[in-house]
Structure 1
Amino acid sequence: MDQRLIKIQAAINELTEKIGIVPPVIGYGEAILNGLYIEAEGKSWVTYRLMCSGERGGEDLVTIALNEDDLLYAILKEVTFHPAITFAAKQAPRNINQRRVHFEKQEELMGSVKSDWKD
């Protein structure tokens, strides 16, 4: 496996540990059922494609990242979605829009990993 991708997996593990989320199953260059996978193209100028296995064996492009920081942001945005929406479903009062609570929780999770990711 490419050393860049090993480094990315280590960073993913470290970042998800900070917020108490199990690291996602990441594949490299091949689809993983119901998981994310990364393709790295190029040697000096690298483009990362973050893909998600879709329904019925299809795949969905999540993002194209031009650097590792953008890639890590996209991965964390994906893996914080479910915990944030679960939190909103359990914690949001009936008179408050659950989407607002969800987005605020996701921003909180993202910001706790890296302050400039809270957007």
Structure 2
Amino acid sequence: MPTDTFIWRTQKSAQGTDNVRTLQAQFGDGYKQVAASGINAKAETWNLSWTGKKVDAAAIRQFLLNHVISSFLWTTPWGETHLWRVKSDSIAVSFPAGNKATLSFTFEQAFAP
């Protein structure tokens, strides 16, 4: 089964965070030993938003809800394509005017489908 792709354009105000998990040991003489914690120690998260017609927002919202557990492909503003999942408590919607809707959500890098 092919992997889904998030195809919608998000707002230009995307915020990304690089998270690097490490194991550290601090010694009495000031020496500090640092190592990566696992093979996928670096992972990104992106806080994103989208604004447009309410009917389009409904389709995007459904995509987001469907991809909390299963991963999908998305290309970051850096131009890098990775697997992602939607952070479970990050989907929010507002209705700024009549037929408009704004969705905000967070993508967390995934390492398996």
Give the TM-score taking structure 1 as reference length.
Answer: 0.23
Q: Which is higher, the Rg of structure 1 or of structure 2?
A: 2
Which structure's residues are more often strand, by fraction? 2
By relative contact order (CA 8 Å, sep 6+), the higher-ranking structure is 2
